[in-house]
Amino acid sequence: MMHKDSTSTEATSSETMTAAVCNRYGPPEVVTLAEIPKPRPKADEVRVRVRATTVSAGDYRVRSHNVPAGFGLLSRLALGIRKPRQPILGTELSGDIDQIGAKVTEFAVGDPVVLFGDAAMGCHAQYRCISEDGSIVRKPRNLSYKQAAALSFGGTTALHFLRKARIKPGERVLVYGASGSVGTACVQLAQQFGAHVTAVCSSPNIDLVRSLGADEVVDYTTTDYTRTEQTYDVIVDTVGSAGYSRSKSVLNRGGRLLLVHGTLMQLIIAPWLTLTTQTKVIPGVALGRKQDLAFLAELAEKGLFTPVIDRTYPLTEIANAHRYVETRRKRGNVVISVAE
């Protein structure tokens, strides 16, 4: 009888995986670990054994339903009325391919990869399937799995907005909220595009943003960026604190204002502001694309882009990771170690 139970346990273990699930909106404690069936790849899919993932600001906002002003009802319709429609959060991961579908040609079992799940989420688990045509690329060889896990969310968001700004070499770019996941990516990418970068952050993060390539730093706890004599061609607002009414006085003619964290009202009035002022206001949602992830991976491979890691938690402490991200004081990314 004991032998039968042991065999049954082994069989069950091989067919299930551990995942962090969020079955209702609420505080960090609503995220708990559960054993669920492993996904099986379809003919055009690969399955990734997850090494590391992240808890991003997006995960915290979905879990807590703390969304930008005006998006409450819309987000419920999109994410789930009473609870998250996708109970497994997590937008990005790194790991190794352990199974491939019959029609897969781009990847092989054993390939180390980076995956961006974007709005589909599902990355806070031991396994994740994705189409080979989806946002999945080979892991840069010079990045650890933990670094690679943090490549996608901030990087693709920053890339989406900066490309819309069409930055020219020598233009002045101000990044407000420069020490977060999106901010640290913006500083590095704007510098790669040839811009003169001013980073706005608090004093503990000044050395960090300088190390990423910021030419100038404004400590928002002591200095208001709108009270200096400097003006900018592009302002990137990653945290919702540098909207048009505040930034218009320091934007050059033809300047671009990138609202990464915009409200519904800002989204609505952006076209009108663009038509009636000398500023192009760019709000919206960044959607991850395979080519964007490939671009970031190539930069990382060349040593030109490095994801910033603040803290690492084991999967068993993912609720604590949510709690820390909710403080809005993280530097770069918070990584979850799933498997060594």
Give the burial class of 112: count Cβ atoms within 10 A of its Cβ; 0-12 exposed, 13-18 middle, 19 or more buried.
middle
How is residue 103 written in tokens?
């029609």
Domain boundaries of the chain, sorted by first residue: 14-152+309-337, 154-282
pLDDT in tens, the chain (340 residues): 333 333 333 344 589 999 999 999 999 999 999 999 999 999 999 999 999 999 999 999 999 887 766 666 766 776 777 889 999 999 999 999 999 999 999 999 999 999 999 889 999 999 999 999 999 999 999 999 999 999 999 999 999 999 999 999 999 999 999 999 999 999 999 999 999 999 999 999 999 999 999 999 999 999 999 999 999 999 999 999 999 999 999 999 999 999 998 888 888 899 999 999 999 999 988 888 999 999 999 999 999 999 999 999 999 999 999 999 999 999 999 999 999 8
Strand segments, DSSP code E, in the chain are 16-22, 31-37, 45-55, 92-100, 112-116, 127-131, 136-138, 172-176, 196-201, 216-219, 232-237, 251-259, 279-282, 309-314, 333-337
Check residue 287 and give its pLDDT: 81
CATH T-level fold of 154-282: Rossmann fold (3.40.50)
In the CATH scheme, what is the code of domain 14-152+309-337? 3.90.180.10
Q: What is the pTM of this model?
A: 0.92
Q: Are 150 and 311 in contact (CB under 8 A)?
A: no
Which residue has 């997850």 as its token pair? Answer: 50
Rounded to 10 degrees, the C-alpha dihedral 161/164/165/167 comes to 100
